[in-house]
Structure formats: structure tokens, C-alpha cells
Amino acid sequence: MSTVELEDALKQCVERVARFRRQHQRIGEQNTKAGLIEPVIGALGWDLFDPDEVHREYRRRGPDNPVDYALLLLRTPRLFVEAKGLGENLDDPRWANQTISYAAVAGVEWVALTDGAEWRIYNAHAPVPIEHKLFRAVRLEDSLDDTAELLSLLSKDNMRDNRIEELWKGYFVDRQVHGELLELFGDGEPAAELVTMLDRRLSRLTRDEIRASLIRVRATFDFPSSAASTGVASVSPLGAMEHVETVPVVPPTVAPVLPQQQTPVRPAKSRSHKRPVSEGERALKVIDLIRAGRLRPGSRLYGKYLGKQYVAELLADGSIRYGGRTLGSPSAAGEAVKIEVHGPSITATRRATDGLDFWSAEDARAGDVVSLKEIRRRLATEGEA
């Protein structure tokens, strides 16, 4: 596989996607395959004209429903690619579930789901519920570099060397450890076992002092990229933090980032001191902020949770696009972030989110980035004046 060839193919795909969308064309599945998917498969070093390498409409057995593409090494399927027409909703669980289930039966570990503009990679053999089998996802229009880095793992050479398996193992372990660490250092009451451990180590402090300190702390965890050892950069799942360059040498010990001693700690805000929300504010919806010119459709929303920044997109009808899903409100999008971090077993109390506080955006009138709640307050005040 030539890196230059892959980058050129992806650039052409980006240009085509932009043109189709400008012209509001729905090109259908077959044209998506021909114009957006097969050029990428070819650039990854697979021979599109050899059915022993690229088998279209693959069936393990005659009566089975076919998979759009099976990519084979030594006539053995190593990767299934399920294609959808450009603009199809990849969030429909039927598409991923059907192909992942078939791959598991067929003994194929890796599955790609794509509409030509977005690629999602799944590990069909992962011993987790199907919603956690997603390994990585990218959109061509978001980052050409990230897309090339992820898709290069699906090249003929890299599939032969099984480099994606090396990355998956590190990712799978780190994700579980990360989730437990977030539970230990999460918002609210600190874990009793953490307080006990520190109580044993810090004999000069009382348990109450340790507990109060843990409530104040905001811990972040930086896992060394498993890609560093393989020469492939890390690509975040959709909707997670924007791509951040990782340093190759990071100690394997994960430590929380504690507040510096000389930095004064702000006390937690008391609910009683919050400014009361007027009836005029409560009546305003996100769509009202758009109609008033305070928010622009397509603009980015920024949320911060447990020390990490998350990015979503504001749609023209006031809904929010996050993690490849369209959510009806900022609160639903904020809850989606928390579910992504803590998993589907998150408690209702922790999941509950004030989306207008959680997300910030640029006030199109003032030009500054503030919370959606502040933008709503400004519009309400403007109406009262």
C-alpha cells in the first residue's frame, strides 16, 4: 500500500462527497460503492479485480444474506465491509448488528460499516455487548489524516501482519481501566476504598479531610497510545475528544492530576447562590436561539466532562449531532457523553445532565464562547428590554 495513493484517494472522496452534498444528490448504494468505497479499498492494496482478494456479495453458504465485500488473504475472509448509500443513517443498529453477527459466525474478526463519508470499524469477536464492539470511527470531512491513519490498518499488508489486533488489545484493556478510574475519581461522593487507601498512606490527615480533598479534585488520565509502538497514530471514536497528538514516551503508571498546592481551590457552587431562571428564559428553546441569530446551524458545541473536552454539532432544527447520532436536546447529548464515558450501566443520577450548562457555543451576536444557558439569558434579557 502506498500512503500517497491512499491520501490521494481520500482527497478525491472528500471532493466527491462535498459535490454530492452541495447538489443535494442521493447517489444510492451502488454509486457510493463505485465512487467512494472501492477507490479506498483499491488504495489499501487490495486487488479489486481478483475475487480471491475482494469478493463482492460474499456468502459463507448459499442461502445466507450476502455481505457487500469480503477482503480475503489466502482465500480466507479477514474483513467484511458493509456498504450503505451516502447519507444513510449508520446509527441504525440493524446494519452493524447484522454484519457483526454474521462475521462472528463466519469466523471473521473485523467489520467495517461505511457510507463512503464515514467509516466505523468493529471487532466482531470482542467478548462485550455489541454496542461496545466499536473500535474506531472517522469521518473524511473531519480529518483526512485521522481517516488515513485508521484505514491504513485495513490495508492488505497490515491485515496480513494483524497490526489492528495489537492496537485493539491495548485499547480494550485501557478502556476498561479508564472506566474504573473515572468511577473512583468521579463527581460527587468519592469511593470508600479510595478514601481508605489514602487514609492508610496519609496518617497526618483525617478521613474527612481526605474525603473533602477528593471531592474537590478533578482527575484526568492519559493512557500511552498503543499505536506508538506500531507506528500508527491513535484515532478517537466519533464524538469523543478532538484528535490530540500523543507523546511517544509516557510512563505506564497512570496517575491523577491533582491541583497544585499553591493554587487556591474554589469551593463547590451552592445551588442556593445560583441566579434564578426567569419564566422568559424557560420559555426559550434552542430553536429560538437559532431563529434569533444567536446560534448558527452547523456550529460546534463544546462540553467538558471529567477534564476532557467533547465536541458536538448543532443542527438547523435545534437537535444535536454527537457520536454519529442525532439527539433531540442538549441534555440528551450531554447524557450521551456520560454514557460513552461510564458505559450503559451508569446510574440515573450520574447520567442526568443540564444540557444548557454542559454545552458552550459561540454567541453569534457577541462573538464569545459561553454556555447555552448564558446565550439563552442574553436573548431573554434582550426581549425584556
Same domain, 190 and 294: no
Judge whether 100 lies within some domain: yes
> pLDDT band at residue 85, thresholds of 50, 70 and 90?
very high
Q: Which three cell numbers stand for residue 283?
A: 420559555
Q: According to the model, what pLDDT value does residue 41 have?
A: 98
Q: Considering 174, 208, 229, which residue would you say is the last residue of a domain? A: 229
Q: Is position 87 within any domain?
A: yes
E strand spans, the chain? 54-58, 67-73, 76-83, 110-114, 118-123, 134-139, 300-305, 308-314, 320-322, 325-327, 359-362, 369-371
Region 278-286 average pLDDT? 85
**What band does 236 get if pLDDT is binned at 50, 70 and 90?**
very low
Q: What percent of the chain has pLDDT over 70?
A: 85
Look at the alpha carbons of 48, 89, 372, 305 in this order and tell me if their dihedral is positive or negative: negative
CATH number at residue 11: 3.90.1570.30
Q: Are residues 201 and 306 in the same domain?
A: no
Cell of 364: 453569534
Same domain? For 39 and 75 the reply is yes
Which pLDDT score, from 0 to 100, does residue 166 have? 82
Query: Quick one: 151 and 189 in the same domain?
Result: no
**pLDDT per residue over 33-63, tens digit each?**
999 999 999 999 999 999 999 999 999 888 8
Confidence of residue 263 (pLDDT cuts 50, 70, 90): very low
Confirm whether 190 is domain-assigned: yes
Quick check: is 241 in a domain?
no
Query: Is residue 14 located within the same domain as residue 139?
Result: yes
- Are residue 100 and residue 174 in the same domain, yes or no? no
**Which residues are CB-contacts of 256 (< 8 A; sequence separation ≥ 6)?**
181, 185, 217, 219, 220, 221
**Domain match, 118 and 32 both:** yes
Which of 229, 260, 287 corresponds to the end of one domain? 229
For 239-260, how does the pLDDT look when each residue is reduced to its tens digit (9 = 90+)?
333 333 332 333 333 334 334 4
Q: How far apart are CA 105 and CA 160, in angstroms?
A: 21
In single-letter form, the type of residue at position 327 comes to L
Give the domain-ending residue among 138, 161, 184.
161
48 in the same domain as 19: yes
Enclosing domain of residue 154: 3-161
Per-residue pLDDT of 88-123, as tens digits, reads: 989 888 889 999 999 999 999 999 999 999 999 999
Do 218 and 316 lie in one domain? The reply is no
Q: Please count the structural domains in the chain.
A: 3
SS3 labels along 25-84:
CCCHHHHHHHHHHHHHHHHCCCCCCCCCCEEEEECCCCCCCCEEEEEEECCEEEEEEEEC
Mean predicted confidence (pLDDT) in 286-294:
92
pLDDT at 252: 35
Half-sphere exposure of 260 (CA within 13 A, CB side): 2
Residue that wins the pLDDT comparison between 265 and 339: 339
Q: Confidence class of residue 1 from pLDDT cuts 50, 70 and 90?
A: low
Condensed to tens digits (0 to 9), the pLDDT of residues 13-38 reads: 999 999 998 988 889 999 999 999 99
Q: 31 with 98, same domain?
A: yes
In this prediction, residue 347 has a pLDDT band, given cuts at 50, 70 and 90, of confident
341 belongs to a structural domain: yes
Specify if 139 maps to a domain: yes
Mean pLDDT of the chain: 83
Assess whether 288 and 203 both reside in one domain: no
Do 144 and 210 lie in one domain? The reply is no
The predicted pLDDT at position 187 comes to: 64
pLDDT in tens, 139-163: 998 888 889 999 999 999 999 998 8
